[in-house]
A and B are shown apart, each in its own frame.
Chain A
Amino acid sequence: GAGVSQSPSNKVTEKGKDVELRCDPISGHTALYWYRQRLGQGLEFLIYFQGNSAPDKSGLPSDRFSAERTGESVSTLTIQRTQQEDSAVYLCASSPNGLQGLYYTFGSGTRLTVV
């Protein structure tokens, strides 16, 4: 597509429920990234995909967080047993490849609220 698309735009969930956040990167971009933005904070790196493999998962905060990617297309970030501290905006970005991180395009994010 023309840009990076994320869905849903907003999600409210009850503590303890699982949630799935979706990211559709720009067509042809082999690299995909997830970042988390807590209220009043900058973006924190979560995970990097090159194709459908994830060579860098170093930013995932706990084993409740996981992500997968289908080929060089859609990625899903899953948070299991959500906690209130998971409330944040989750931003996805893509770039032509991982060595060209300069050329990120970000999506508009999913605002997750855990109540």
Chain B
Amino acid sequence: AQTVTQSQPEMSVQEAETVTLSCTYDTSENNYYLFWYKQPPSRQMILVIRQEAYKQQNATENRFSVNFQKAAKSFSLKISDSQLGDTAMYFCAFMKTGTYKYIFGTGTRLKVLA
């Protein structure tokens, strides 16, 4: 069975600074995807970034980038130039390729300070 672990329940960062959120996972699968989702107070889950396991290149989306270490089963999210609107819960998630079911971590609450 797959597991996803987020060991930082809460983090804070000053506006315009950079912060890194950690995620580790465990799987015996070789083909899968990893995700970071943002959940603001509105509760809607918003996809931040997605990484295909077969790709060695780390995914980036504007201010968001990941550090994907497949052998170490690590998938951290870096947020650059943090903005007040980045304040939210962030969830790391795993999905086996060709399936539909997410396995989520327990989340990291990020607060961006003015």
Contact = CB atoms under 8 A, between A and B. Distances in A.
Interface in A79-115: 89, 91, 93, 95, 98-102, 104, 106-109, 111
A36 to B, nearest CB: 11
B100 A99 contact: yes
A98 B100 contact: yes
Given A91-B45, A108-B42, A41 B106 contact: yes
A91 B101 CA distance: 14
B95 interface: yes
B100 A95 contact: yes
- Determine chain B's interface SS by DSSP, over half rule: loop
Contacts of B106: 40-42
A40 B109 CA distance: 10
B95 A48 contact: no
Contacts of B102: 35, 43, 45, 101, 104
Contacts, number: 55
B33 interface: yes
A35 B44 CA distance: 12
Contact of A42 (B44, B98, B104): B104
Contact of A101 (B42, B47, B91, B101): B101
A37 to B, nearest CB: 8
A109 B46 CA distance: 13
Interface in B41-78: 42-47, 50
A13 to B, nearest CB: 19
Contacts of B47: 104
Contact of A48 (B43, B93, B101): B101
A113 to B, nearest CB: 14
Contacts of A98: 100
A31 B102 CA distance: 14
B33 A102 contact: yes
B95 A109 contact: no
5 contacts: A43-B104, A45-B101, A95-B100, A101-B101, A104-B102
